[in-house]
Structure 1
Amino acid sequence: MIPLSSARLVSLSELMNTIPSKNQLKKLLKTFTCPSNEDVERFLYQNAVKFEKTGLARTYIWLGKLEEKPKVLAYFTIALKAIHLDEKILRAIESLVSKEKLEEVLNDLLKGFPLGEQNKQIAVYLIGQVGKIPQVEKLKGYLVKVALAKIEEASKIVGGKIVILDIAEPEKSKKLLSLYRELGFKELYKYQHKGKEFLRLYRKLP
Structure 2
Amino acid sequence: MALSVYRVSELIDIVGEERASALLDTFCCSRNSDIKQFVRNKAIDFEKQGIAISYIVIDELEDSAVIAGFYSLALKVARIEMTCLSNSVKKRLLKFGQSFFESGDCFLPSVLIAQFGKSDIYSGLMRGSDLMDLAVSSVREIQTLVGGRFLFLECQDSPKLLAFYQKQGFATFGVRRSNADLEVSTDSTLVQLYRFVRPV
1:32 shift after superposition: 0.6
**1:161-200 → structure 2 map (5 Å cutoff):** 161-168=149-156, 170=157, 173-194=158-179, 195-200=187-192
Asked whether the 8 Å contact 1:107–1:113 carries over to 2, the reply is: no
- The residue number in structure 1 matching 2:114 is 128
Query: Which residue of the other structure, out of 36, 39, 44, is the alignment partner of 1:49?
Result: 44
Q: Distance in 1 between matches of 2:111 and 2:97?
A: 19
The sequence identity of aligned pairs, in percent, is 27
Q: Distance in 2 between matches of 1:139 and 1:106?
A: 32
Is 2:21 aligned against 1:26? yes
Q: Distance in 2 between matches of 1:113 and 1:131?
A: 29
Q: CA RMSD in A?
A: 2.6
Q: Greater RCO between the two (CA within 8 Å, min separation 6)?
A: 1
1:48 shift after superposition: 0.8
Q: Distance in 1 between matches of 2:114 and 2:149?
A: 17
Is 2:10 aligned against 1:17? no
Say which SS state the counterpart of residue 141 (structure 1) adopts. Answer: helix
TM-score with structure 1 setting the length:
0.79
1:52 shift after superposition: 1.1
1:204 shift after superposition: 1.0
Q: Distance in 2 between matches of 1:109 and 1:162?
A: 9
Structure 1's unaligned 5+ residue stretches are none
- Bigger drift between 55-64 and 194-203 goes to 55-64
Asked whether the 8 Å contact 2:7–2:55 carries over to 1, the reply is: yes
Q: Distance in 2 between matches of 1:66 and 1:157?
A: 33
> What count of residue pairs does the alignment treat as equivalent?
187
1:110 shift after superposition: 2.4
Structure 2's unaligned 5+ residue stretches are 180-186
Q: Distance in 2 between matches of 1:54 and 1:32?
A: 22
Asked whether the 8 Å contact 2:96–2:149 carries over to 1, the reply is: no
Distance 1:113 1:11, change over 3 A: closer
Q: Distance in 1 between matches of 2:79 and 2:169?
A: 23
Q: Distance in 1 between matches of 2:178 and 2:96?
A: 31
The one-letter amino acid of 1:197's match is T
Q: Distance in 2 between matches of 1:59 and 1:198?
A: 21
- Bigger drift between 133-142 and 25-34 goes to 133-142
Q: Deviations over 1:81-130 (max 9, x none)?
A: 12345xxxx3xx64xxxx3x254443333217672379854321111111
Q: Distance in 2 between matches of 1:65 and 1:112?
A: 39
For the pair shown, which has the larger CA radius of gyration, 1 or 2? 1
1:17 shift after superposition: 1.0
Distance 1:204 1:42, change over 3 A: same
Q: Deviations over 1:15-34 (max 9, x none)?
A: 111223x3332211101111
Q: Distance in 1 between matches of 2:87 and 2:98?
A: 10
1:68 shift after superposition: 5.0
